[in-house]
Amino acid sequence: MESRDAAAPIAAPQPHPAAPAPVSFLDRVLPIVAAPCGISDDGYPHLSEDGYRLLRDTIPYIPGAGERVLKALDAINRSKKVAQGSFAFQENISHACAAARSYVESASIACSSDLWLLGAILRTFRDQGFLGALLTGEALRPETCLVSVDGRKRGAIPGEIEIDLLFLASRGLLEPAGGRQYVLASHPRARSVLEAMTRADFDQPAAISRLWRGVFSGERLSPADEAIVTRAGAGSPMRSDWFQDTWLPTFDEIELHYRLLPVVIGLRAAGRIEEVVDALSTARSLAPRHESCADASLRILSNAGVVEAREPRGFAVTQIGKRILEKGPGPMGIIEAYHPYLSNLPAIWAGEKIETHVRRGDDISASQDANRVTFIRANDCLDAFCHATGFAYSVFIEHAAGRGEAIRQRFARSGGGIAYVAADFEDESIQACLSERDRGGLPASLAVIGSSDIGAPGAFLQALQRRGIDSKDAVMIVGNGFQEVRGQTDESMSKVFKAYHDAGIVLIFIEESALSIDDLLETGWSTYHAGFRYVHERSGQVLRPSEDAGAPRVGPPLRTSWHSCAAAGGYVRLERFSRRSRPIYPWRPKAKGNPSISVTHFCVPRELARRLKLGE
């Protein structure tokens, strides 16, 4: 394999010749932040609805265009015109710039996992002949789709293939056409994406983050594996057209992020994020044993605007790149863990029973990153509850424990005066908890309960009894675990809650809110929930909204809310001790609610609420 000087600088992304000059680009951003903005109830600035739509639909802002937006916002804040304006004008500009920056930074993280999924799904649709049918105007009907598995045509299971059709609809590439059928979306961008995929040499495997980890860790790679990652960099595209009249992705953006996501996860798994963010990097410093592969990674990072060329012959992380590398591995890793499903889509559509499940591995660390802040919030809620009510507990449980992040935080706050229990169904998570306990990151007395299905409370409660642990007035924190209950219905989920309720457990659970396709289309890349919804539905898990919602315009109705299911199980949700993350709309909708990305539900058994004289 031919090798070249790995330290030679790679050209940073350059605008397309037809792209506007920087001052023109700044002028395109100015109307967005000049429109009157608002302040949320929590004190955070938000864009006007018109300003948001201008940003979403007319400004390229996802990597590698996001850095241009941030620089334009900085320039506007520093401009003489703003400095010479009234105080009210300056304040509005400052708030609107902050809101626009927040949206772009969130989108830079949220878009990658969705675009990675689009690349994998569209490639399979192409190989099955579905893209050709859509391009000729044919509607895809789940009940009539035929899939090829091992050279034989099979009828698809309608409910299985519709999960993928709905995801493509949520990202604006397909549209429902009456009943359960889907056609190519009307915007020309949708057609250009499908046409490009039919022509593309799109052969990179979905799951190569383990190879990138090996590159950045200095592990020995086989020539075949080294060739895979080298080709990933060689094929890394830049967006070639900067015209924008829709938030729908270009094909170049899909392909770029299909290659970027495994690089970011590989850096995180190798423990190299902090080093890369803080120091000037070259290919040799990034991976001395694999210079050609490191050169490929820098090409991908450069094309995505994560790094930019700096003299002499090096690269530094950009503003947007710092955000992506520090905040992105959590949501990216959660989505990428479902790659075995993406590798087996035709067989899954055909209803074959295959041994497919989530591959956590390195992604346990990524999930811990994503959950750290939400567990801080949950533990804060618990402390506030105890302080306000005088409630005391002697048992602290974390179910769906991962590495035991909630326990680690509680142990740091409360010490060893209480009993700690970690429970999980997956062996990887149990081993991670045991390793953390052995190295001192978790209490030495930690009880670990393996093979514990959170949807089977009886077995878990019996395991507590065998260990002499009383569940009455125990506190249990669950981070995104109840959605993992397989085959659940509204009734079965309420029974799960009832079992924990009847055992006397105070339940603090964090769940990402299910969002309608209407919401996902309106908010563009504001969240990564289109992908989050897809992988959970694809693997048989169930997302629910925080509160019950009305019928959407696009797609099926959402399920009964977590609030209603918990209440049916006997729990009382205490609103003043529950917490909501940021709302999904970056403006305040007048005609509808503004769902939060996730909610920390603080629920107590009805008997405890009476005992503490809680009127909620």
What does the pLDDT look like over 304-332, one tens digit per residue? Answer: 999 988 776 678 899 999 999 999 998 89
Higher pLDDT, 559 or 15: 559
Three-state secondary structure string covering 75-143: HHHHCHHHHCCCHHHHHHHHHHHHHHHHHHHHHHHHHHHHHHHHHHHHHHHHHCCHHHHHHCCCCECHH
Place of tokens 């315009």: 553
Phi-psi region of 43 (alpha: psi -120 to 50; beta: other; left: phi over 0): left
| Average pLDDT in the chain | 88
pTM for the full predicted model: 0.88
**Residue 21 predicted with pLDDT over 70:** no
Q: What is the pLDDT of residue 356?
A: 59
Identify the pLDDT of residue 276: 87
Reported as half-sphere exposure (CB side, CA atoms, 13 A), residue 361 has a value of 20
Mean pLDDT within 558-584: 94
- In this structure, is residue 24 part of a structural domain? no
Dihedral angle computed from the Cα positions of residues 327, 328, 330 and 334, in that order, rounded to the nearest 10 degrees: 160
Q: Does the residue 238 lie in any domain?
A: no
Query: How much of the chain, in percent, has pLDDT values that exceed 70?
Result: 91
Q: Is residue 94 in some structural domain?
A: no
Percentage above 90 pLDDT, the chain: 64
Q: Is residue 69 part of a domain?
A: no
Rounded CA-CA distance 129/467 in Å is: 56
Over the stretch 70-120, which tens digit does the pLDDT of each residue have? 999 999 988 877 877 888 888 899 999 999 999 999 999 999 999 999 999
Q: Which residue is listed with tokens 């680690």?
A: 408
Mean per-residue pLDDT for 419-444? 92
Domain assignment present for residue 347? The answer is no
Max avg pLDDT among 1-10, 24-33, 115-124, 350-359: 115-124
User: Cβ(389)–Cβ(325) under 8 Å?
Assistant: no
- Owning domain of residue 445: 363-611
Among candidate residues 71, 20, 610, 23, the one with its CA nearest the CA of residue 320: 71
CATH number at residue 401: 3.40.50.150
Which pLDDT score, from 0 to 100, does residue 425 have?
92
579 vs 615: which has the higher pLDDT: 579
In the chain, how many domains are there? Answer: 1
Could you read off the pLDDT of 327-370 as tens digits, one per residue? 999 889 989 999 999 999 999 999 987 765 555 554 445 555 56
The answer to whether position 589 is within a domain reads yes
Q: Closest Cα partner for 349 from 145, 610, 571, 554? A: 145
| Residue 38 within a domain | no
Using CB atoms within 10 Å of the CB of residue 361, give its burial: 0 to 12 exposed, 13 to 18 middle, 19+ buried. middle
Query: What is the C-alpha to C-alpha distance for residues 246 and 25, in angstroms, rounded to an integer?
Result: 16
Contacts of residue 252, Cβ cutoff 8 Å, sequence gap at least 6: 237, 238, 239, 240
Provide the pLDDT for residue 241: 73
Band of pLDDT at residue 205, cut at 50, 70 and 90: confident
The pLDDT of residue 14 is: 37
Position 440 in a domain: yes
pLDDT at 3 over 80: no
